[in-house]
Amino acid sequence: MLATNGRLKLALQRSGRLTDESVQLLRSCGLAFEHSRQSLSSPCSNFDLDILAIRDDDIPEFVQDGVAHLGIVGQNILSEKQARTRALLPLGFGYCRLMVSVPERSRIRSVRDLAGLRIGTTYPATLRAFLKKQKVAAKIVKLSGSVELSPALNVADAICDIVSTGSTARMNGLRPLLTVMESQAVLVAHPQSLSDKRSGQLIERLLIRVRAVLEARGKRYLMMNAPADALPKLQKVIPSLKSPTVVPLAVSGMVAVHSVVAEDVFWDVMERLKAAGATDIVVVPIETIVR
Ligand code: AMP
């Protein structure tokens, strides 16, 4: 299932919150392509892949219909469009939550209190499924934007909208009540393009790269020198040093030790390694980890 030119097509958001990180991720995978907001399709010069830049609302349908083999889109859009696509990988960016918020002074305290009320949203399908699961009958008011203004305009009693910090809701006198869904960007595929030999192979090659880039995110490569007899102590500090790379140094009794550490614990680990006898600690970024 490949387009006539035998190339894979991947759809990403043309211009918006997910665009830069989507492009960055693909470039980190070694894909060379021009990205301009003006062009709909950009060919990769070193992989049989064309990048389609389209509205994110259209991505689920494009992938469902096989116009694109792959897409990068928020789970929130995927859920709302209810398109038949196969989710391959969460991508670790574009985090947000779809939340129900209510006017600050309202008496609504729980999902039950929404029964019989009007909820304004641009996510009617996702909200409907959520309310059904909660067995709450509320009226869904479909809006196409400016959702947070709807309670003040008396169009709705509550809203269901995307929130990342909650500051927009607060600025509009709203209080977050509950989370309908958590979301991040995901890589999705047209199901048939996975089983097709040629497109399936190309997707598999691309997936190996994407996984390797994601695996390396938030990790650092750590090198240090230490007296050979300090090794047991160093291993206690970094559990991943079960099988560390240990290289003898020219100075007898000294070794170089290499390992990978998570970025968020690095400073803490470094202090403890120093206390355990490590010196000359060097930390370098990692671009990819292929397992
Ligand atoms: P945009 O249309 O450019 O605002 O991009 C919207 C997409 O970015 C959403 O569908 C979400 O998947 C994601 N996103 C991440 N954080 C937020 C946020 N604070 N508000 C809206 N969308 C967000």
Find the largest Cα–Cα distance for the chain: 79
DSSP 65: T
pTM: 0.90
pLDDT < 50: residue spans in the chain: none
For residue 237, the model assigns a pLDDT of: 87
Locate the ligand 1 atom nearest the alpha carbon of residue 163 and give its number. 19
- The number of angstroms, rounded, from the C-alpha of 66 to the middle of its chain's C-alpha atoms is 23
**Burial degree of 288 (CB within 10 A; 0-12, 13-18, 19+):** middle
For residue 242, the model assigns a pLDDT of: 60
- Homologous superfamily (CATH) of 8-93+184-216 is Periplasmic binding protein-like II (3.40.190.10)
For residue 57, the model assigns a pLDDT of: 97
CA-nearest of 59, 60, 50 to 13 is 59
Domains 8-93+184-216 and 96-183 share a fold: yes
Locate the ligand 1 atom nearest the alpha carbon of residue 19 and give its number. 3
For residue 239, the model assigns a pLDDT of: 66
For residue 243, the model assigns a pLDDT of: 74
At position 89, the amino acid (one-letter code) is L
Ligand 1 center to residue 17 CA distance, Å?
6
Residues with CB under 6 A from ligand 1: 16-18, 56, 74, 76-77, 94, 96, 162, 164, 183
Q: What is the pLDDT of residues 60-75, one digit of tens each?
A: 999 999 999 999 999 9
At position 240, the amino acid (one-letter code) is S
Every domain of the chain and the residues it spans: 8-93+184-216, 96-183, 219-285
Residue nearest to atom 15 of ligand 1 (CA): 94
For residue 4, the model assigns a pLDDT of: 59
Mutation pick for ligand 1 pocket among 13, 162, 168, 171 (CB with most ligand atoms within 8 Å): 162
Cβ(91)–Cβ(187) under 8 Å? yes
Ligand 1 center to residue 255 CA distance, Å?
49
For residue 281, the model assigns a pLDDT of: 95
The architecture of the domain spanning 96-183 is 3-Layer(aba) Sandwich (3.40)
Q: What is the pLDDT of residues 273-286, one digit of tens each?
A: 999 999 999 999 99
Ligand 1 center to residue 135 CA distance, Å?
28
CATH topology of domain 219-285: Alpha-Beta Plaits (3.30.70)
Locate the ligand 1 atom nearest the alpha carbon of residue 94 and give its number. 15
Give Cβ neighbours of residue 266 (< 8 Å, ≥ 6 apart): 220, 222, 283
Q: Strand ranges (DSSP E) for 37-154?
A: 41-43, 49-54, 70-74, 86-90, 96-103, 118-121, 139-142
Instruction: Round to whole Å and give the CA distance between 172 and 83.
Output: 33
